[in-house]
Structure 1
Amino acid sequence: MTGIRAAADADMPAVRSVAARFGLLRSWPAGLDFLDAERAFGTLLLATAPDGAARGFGGTLRRGAVTHLGDLFVLAEHQSSGVGRTLLAELLKGDEPKVTFASSDPRAMSLYMRHGLRPWSPLLYLTGPAAGLSGPPVRQATPEEVAELDAYAGGGARAQTLAWYAAVPGVTCYTTGEGYAFARTTGDRVVIGPAGGATPQDCAAAALGAVAASADAAASTGAAGSASGAGSASVAVMAVPGGHLLAPTLAEAGWRIADMDTFMADERAVDLVRTDRYLPHPDLG
């Protein structure tokens, strides 16, 4: 029999041990990752065996009325045993609008469909050179400045989550005024998202401006730190809905699809999340 409980402080090593098995924490600082955000601003559940050993975990984040299912991971030896169904039933038990990014595993997509979610769009994880893309001028902004735009494009308000993310090492928030984009530089990579705008063009401009600004900042840091061997971000990563105008733009610029999920939502949420003018964060939605 599987036990399900809200993850407490003492459970986090077990949760992270499962996450590490799936390679989910490689780009996050030790002990400061998206699991903390799920626990603080949504729900993080741990599934255990009768002896207390971890079998899997699941997590959600809230954006206003929208519940974003961020994680549902079950260890291979416990898959197809009902652990995932039990976790999902608890995570999605409310009647609020719901979204998720489904992997290519058909079992997961079928499970989500049984909970009322439908596949609406591919979500392309695009990667390419951080330098070389032209973007408009951007300025640094506070998360408070962009919270309203984020709520409009992403489907709901999450000011506390944005403030939490802005405090993570390497994160900078940029804005053009009509668009915004968060950028996090870690090692040789810069991850763009969330990003959004008043129009699709505003979203694209902010994301491209953030890539260019991050590349410039990394190059300056690398030059200043060359004596100590400091590196600079050379690769950019962006999660782009298939219908977003940035998808062909980046493909033409030589970016490649490193992975792909499916954006799934119920009938209410699909009208709230404006995927033509929103770029989610791969882990935070």
Structure 2
Amino acid sequence: MAGGPMGETIVRVAEDADMPGVREVAAHYEALDGWTDMPDFLDAERAFGTLVVGEVDERIVGIGGVLRRGQISHLSDLYVLPEYQSSGVGSGILGFALPSGTPRVTFSSDDSRALGLYIRQGMRPVCPLMYLTFTPDAATSPGPSGVRAAEGGTDARNGANSVNGAKAGNGYRVREAGAMDARASGGERTGTLSWYADLPGVTLHLTGSGYAFARTTEGDLEVGPVGGETPEDCAAALSAAVAAHPAVEEVQVAVPGVHPLLPRLLDTGWEIDDLDTLMASDPGILRLDRYFPHPDLG
């Protein structure tokens, strides 16, 4: 507990009755844009990690969510309403939500207070995380990633390659993707990926030694997580996901600034729309040369 601007701050794990207040805080920062239906990433945090609230005078004024990948704790969000910032609410939530002594990862905005808070929690800036967008145009574009699917892989338009998670009876494909994802992302999270694959509009694309999850929402396509055994496998899986959704208006993907394919993506029509700072307690826990994270799920 800590002293807030209007009363005592209580930090605790979120309960069912808290979710309207939780979503109100998240919506203030437009964090739910693109999540038009429930369940959303806040539900995933409760199911596969920890969702924490900061409460002042019985009002939820801040939230923090952590998702687990093996031993890694991914801080997926930390939001405090403006009038309660710099009051200790954020640091209280963070200290409660993050377990001590485990590897930590987050995507930080350019807010100097947030950066300082994460650094004090043992994380260091690793590289920019660039949010790229692409407008499909088969008549003028050489291809969404500038590479073809890996030799011997499955055609991106083949129904056996693009599946809708467990709903299509393809739980084994999610497990296959989960094994590749664990090697690329630094930790196992097949449960989270199975949950995601079951959401409306989500498809999984396997291309030999690569995988890509994709979700259509309001005419756009969000691709991630994406990974593989090599950088080229990432590109092939991204290509497969985009090729399987030719009617979307815009494609979005998050790419670490040190990924070797970033220049090629920019050369073939992708544009930098926004960026965060990828922070980690140990830069070596992520394979940033073969991994594109999901903006909310890590």
Shared fold, TM over 0.5? yes
Contact 1:3–1:47, Cα closer than 8 Å, also in 2 = yes
Contact 2:162 2:244 in 1 (8 A): no
Cα distance in structure 1, aligned partners of 2:287 and 2:110: 23
Query: What is aligned with 2:115?
Result: 109
1:47 aligns with 2:54: yes
Match of 1:151 among 182, 193, 201: 182
In structure 1, the residue matched to 2:34 is 27
Quote how far apart the aligned CAs of 1:248 are. Answer: 1.2
Name the counterpart of 1:88. 94
* C-alpha distance 131-167 of structure 1, shift in aligned 2 (>3 A): farther
State the alpha-carbon separation in 1 of the partners of residues 40 and 194 from structure 2. 14
Bigger helix share:
1
5+ residue gaps, structure 1, are: 220-232
Q: Does the 8 Å CA contact 1:102/1:108 hold for their aligned counterparts?
A: yes
Partner of 1:282: 295
Q: Aligned partner of 1:193: which letter? A: G
Equivalent of 2:251, from 224, 227, 236? 236
Q: Secondary structure at the match of 2:244?
A: helix
Partner SS, residue 245 of structure 2: helix
2:183 partner SS:
helix
Equivalent residues of 2:105, 2:278 under 8 A apart:
yes
CA distance in 2, matches of 1:16, 1:130: 32
Pick the aligned partner of 2:266 from 251, 254, 258: 251
* TM-score relative to the length of structure 2: 0.86
TM-score (norm 1): 0.90
Aligned counterparts of 1:265 and 1:130: Cα–Cα separation in 2 = 33
Question: Secondary structure of 1:120's partner?
Answer: strand
1:211 corresponds in structure 2 to: 242
Name 1:191's counterpart in structure 2: 222
- Aligned-residue RMSD, C-alpha: 1.2
Partner in structure 1 of residue 169 of structure 2: none
**What is the total number of aligned residue pairs between the two structures?**
266
How much has 1:165 moved relative to structure 2? 0.2
Q: Which residue of 2 aligns with 1:36?
A: 43
Q: Distance in 2 between matches of 1:131 and 1:171?
A: 22
Q: CA deviation at 1:34?
A: 0.2
Residue of structure 2 aligned with 1:69, choices 47, 70, 75: 75
Counterpart CA distance in 2 for 1:195 and 1:206 is 7
- Residues 86-138 of structure 1: CA distance to partner in whole angstroms, max 9, x if unpaired? 11111223211110001110111111111110101100000111344254233
1:178 aligns with 2:209: yes
Q: Give the letter aligned to residue 31 of structure 2.
A: L
CA contact (8 A) 2:45 2:65 kept: yes
Supply the distance in 2 between the matched residues of 1:211 and 1:58 (Cα, whole angstroms): 32
Q: Sequence identity, in percent?
A: 52
